[in-house]
Amino acid sequence: MRGNILGIFFTVLSGVMVALIVLAYGRSDRLAPEFRFTALDLIYNSSTEDKDLVVGINAYDSKDGDISNRIVVEKVVLNKDAETAVVYYAVADHSGNVAKQSRVFPADIADIEYNGDSSEMIEDGMHPNLMFGDANNLSAAGASSGEAELTDN
């Protein structure tokens, strides 16, 4: 008798839990935010920063409203032949839904090649490129095998 009562109790409890899970899932925010772009007269060059690239872009979410302050620049891909820069953006709402978009800008390739693109010049602070001694003193055999050896002059 006691086993039947426990079985009925756990069956009813399981049904209530399933109903709560379905209700919570139905009310959850599953819609990704959307981007809205306005015209921007910008030419991508060596001095262009991320803050310049997000001008004229807004992001809105149906639940969170304006989330433009959460927009990030994921990466910039240069097309030297077409003299353009494709900028990839992403934004996430407070529920974790992510939207991604890209935008194409004209690029001043000559300026970027001459002055360098600051986004490509980031160096890893944990593993800086250390060189002991003069680079001309490294033996060719050691350098080709992956192990550099110093030679005496």
CATH of residue 75's domain is: 2.60.40.10
Q: Please give the Cα distance from 59 to 67 (Å, whole number).
A: 5
- Residue labelled with tokens 């953006």: 89
**CB atoms near residue 141 (< 10 Å):** 9
For 35, the enclosing helix (H) or strand (E) is strand 34-37
Q: Is 110 contained in some domain?
A: yes
Q: Is 13 contained in some domain?
A: no
> Which residues, other chains included, contact 52 with Cβ-Cβ below 8 Å and sequence gap of 6+?
42
Q: Is 63 contained in some domain?
A: yes
- Mean pLDDT is lowest, of 16-20, 56-60, 83-87, 148-152, for 148-152
Share of the chain above pLDDT 90, in %: 19
pLDDT of residue 73: 92
Total domains in the chain come to 1
Structure tokens at 113: 């090649």
* Full domain range(s) for residue 100: 33-121
Enter the pTM of the model.
Answer: 0.61
Q: What is the pLDDT of residues 92-140, one digit of tens each?
A: 988 888 999 999 999 888 888 887 654 543 333 444 444 444 444 444 4
pLDDT of residue 116: 67
Q: Please give the Cα distance from 73 to 46 (Å, whole number).
A: 16
Q: Is 7 contained in some domain?
A: no
